[in-house]
């Protein structure tokens, strides 16, 4: 799995998916008044991946509305400081047996122990109790042990490989929008 985090192609694909999601969101116009959307990206400084310095977001151009629309993202998992694939894969690895590997990776990516513990809390409590997971868990044909999140999710999608990882990040992307309440905040 360390290889996935070092795979440039993974990051290129994530960028492409985010661009597509952004174009689609913009083409849909303002959800409140149907007005034209202008770019109003958020500044980001994520760790553990490429220097992705902005997250796509739009603002309605109509005076008196100006509502925001932020498309789902496969690069940023909510407001977490690290890029999404790091939060997913490193968290999943914590359930494995090899503590040495986790430690090495943690040091390499400069993730402190408390952050890791927070991610774990987030997966096994906030995430599994959120509306998104409650709505989706039924689609897995074998039960996912929620205490082993996100490890079992990564397994289910084949997320240790490029293609599976992309599918997993797309699956998770709805939780990165504000319409998915209770999950984004951390």
Among the listed residues 13, 33, 109, 128, the single contact to Zn ion using CB under 5 A: 33
Among the listed residues 19, 24, 32, 79, the single contact to Zn ion using CB under 5 A: 32
Distance of CA 1 to the CA centre of its chain: 17
**DSSP three-state, residue 127:** helix
Q: Nearest approach, Cβ of 82 to Zn ion (angstroms)?
A: 33
Nearest to 30 by CA among 68, 86, 77, 1: 68
Give the binding range for Zn ion (CB under 5 A) out of 6-14, 15-23, 27-35, 87-95: 27-35
- Find tokens 């927070």 and name the residue: 118
Contact between residue 78 and residue 185 where contact means Cβ atoms under 8 Å apart: yes
Q: Nearest approach, Cβ of 67 to Zn ion (angstroms)?
A: 5
Contact between residue 154 and residue 168 where contact means Cβ atoms under 8 Å apart: yes
Q: Which is nearer to Zn ion, 22 or 111 (CB)?
A: 22
Among the listed residues 30, 94, 154, 183, the single contact to Zn ion using CB under 5 A: 30
Token representation of residue 42: 């958020």
* Chain residues in the site for Zn ion (CB under 5 A): 30, 32-33, 35, 60, 62, 65, 67
């Amino acid at each position: 799995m360390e290889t996935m985090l070092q795979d440039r192609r993974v990051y290129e694909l994530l960028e492409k998916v985010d661009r597509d999601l952004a174009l689609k969101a913009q083409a849909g116009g303002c959800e409140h008044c149907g007005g034209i959307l202008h770019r109003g990206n958020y500044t980001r400084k994520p760790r553990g991946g490429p220097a992705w310095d902005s997250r796509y977001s739009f603002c309605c151009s109509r005076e008196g509305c100006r509502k925001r629309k932020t498309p789902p993202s496969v690069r940023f998992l909510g407001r977490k400081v690290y890029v999404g694939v790091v939060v997913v894969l490193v968290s999943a690895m914590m359930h494995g047996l090899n503590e040495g590997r986790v430690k090495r990776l943690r040091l390499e990516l400069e993730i402190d122990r408390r952050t890791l513990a927070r991610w774990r809390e987030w997966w096994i409590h906030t995430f599994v109790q959120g509306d998104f997971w409650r709505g989706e868990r039924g689609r897995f044909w074998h039960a996912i042990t929620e205490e082993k999140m996100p490890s079992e999710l990564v397994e289910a999608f084949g997320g240790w490989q490029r293609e599976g990882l992309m599918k997993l990040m797309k699956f998770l992307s709805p939780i990165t929008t504000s319409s998915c309440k209770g999950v984004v905040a951390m």
